[in-house]
A and B are shown apart, each in its own frame.
Chain A
Amino acid sequence: MIDARGLSCPMPVVMVQNEVKKSSPDELKVQVDSMVCVENITRFANSKKYEVEVTKKDGEFELTLKKQK
């Protein structure tokens, strides 16, 4: 689980990018607290062939990135 809450652009995407580069996980969960981060991470994840599910809770978001089969 990556906790990218409260970090400004582009740090959340960088954290996801580093994790994807390091271990290329089948599934990765990311916590963020703004729609901008949701959009940026989704674009990045899609470009790396990950599907993204977003759940919203108490004004925060949890993204689940799953490698496309």
Chain B
Amino acid sequence: MTKKINLWVIITGVAVGIAALALTAFGNPANMGFCIACFLRDIAGATKLHSASVVQYVRPEIIGLILGSTIMAVATGEFKAKAGSSPATRFIIGAFVMIGALVFLGCPLRMVIRMGGGDLNAFVGLAGFAIGILIGIFFIKKGFTLKRNHPVTLTEGMAMPGLMIGLLVLLLAVPTIFMFSEEGPGSKHAPLILSLVIAIAVGALAQKSRLCMVGGMRDAIMFRDFNLIIGFGAIFVTVFLGNLILGNFKGFSTYLQPIAHASQLWNLLGMVLVGWGSVLLGGCPLRQLILAGEGNGDSAVTVLGMVVGAAFAHNFGLAGSAAKLADDGSYSAGGIALAGKIAVGIGFAVLLLISIVNVLKKKKKEGAEV
């Protein structure tokens, strides 16, 4: 069994890498073939939850990933409607994971894609991600739990796939109701059908292989289980080689990387927040989409929390701003506004509170059901 799973993880990692390169070649922003945080943020913008005009687009990749997972889960008998594991707490963690990701400018998946593109800022993000995962593991070892989920009705399990089908129908039938960026990252996108088809395939593979950016590092550290981290490596290697072959690779550097900033402390801290929150949730943002597609209502709520987090990030100026070269040739390294720094600080306080309270609760009820 183990060998088979390893193979699926490698296949999925390579497929994600190729898909990311292809989507970028067909129009997605550079080093952003796939980015769950960025794409949920674009959907938040397109649906007018925020009004940052440069990041508004209904990303078919999100719709495809979720529906691909649903299709695979139904086909393999793994679709199960379940929910009830601290949904409100998960919503809040999801929102702060998103804020951390937008401070860094990418989810863990985009972090790996950025690394494969030669962006050294993303390696700083990786260090932060690892630190966050270690903090999360510390609390899990102390007994942290968000309690059990339970079987629920089919409508609960189908909430997120249903929402995605609705979003797709509206996008195809009445696209004018949405906001679409005319410039900036939101304006750059591969053709709708191509994005959708590629994402359905990747979503199905990710469901089958359980690919998870946080799970890889967590399992390697906690159990010496290197199954999932192989997927992480496969994405990096594929994107790196692909960029070399396509002539996109310009060496490793922190300078003027696509949709990235060189404010290293905040690259690090943003990803600490993402790593920590993702361990508490039991999976990275990509994994939350996949679980939501499998009928997990808690992950559906987490995804909605991420969308709201993205809206807050742009409504209150929390997100990082990318490095830029102005028309007069002057270079700006980009970075984080004061509000974003405060939000990351609040995020740490909130995660600490959630981590401690959910450990203490368990200790109090030692021997009772977790």
A contact set with B: CB distance below 8 Å: 3, 5-11, 13-14, 17, 33-36, 39-40, 42-44, 46-47, 59
Contacts and interface: CB of A to CB of B under 8 A. Distances in A.
B210 A39 contact: yes
Given A39-B1, A39-B5, A43-B225, A10 B145 contact: no
The main secondary structure of chain A at its interface with chain B is helix
Contacts of B1: 39, 42-43
B148 A5 contact: yes
Contacts, number: 68
B211 to A, nearest CB: 12
Given A43-B2, A47-B224, A34 B80 contact: yes
Contacts of B218: 10
A65 to B, nearest CB: 14
B323 interface: no
Nearest to A3: B369
B161 interface: no
Contacts of A46: 2
Contacts of B369: 3
Contacts of A36: 210
A33 B80 CA distance: 9
The main secondary structure of chain B at its interface with chain A is loop
B78 interface: yes
B82 interface: yes
B5 A8 contact: no
A8 B2 contact: no
Q: Which 4 A-B pairs have the closest CB atoms?
A: A6-B148, A8-B282, A9-B282, A6-B149
Interface in B283-324: 283, 298
Interface string B35-78: 00000000000000000000000000000000000000000101
A17 B80 contact: no
A45 B225 CA distance: 11
A9 B210 CA distance: 11
A17 B225 CA distance: 12
Contact of B85 (A8, A13, A14): A8
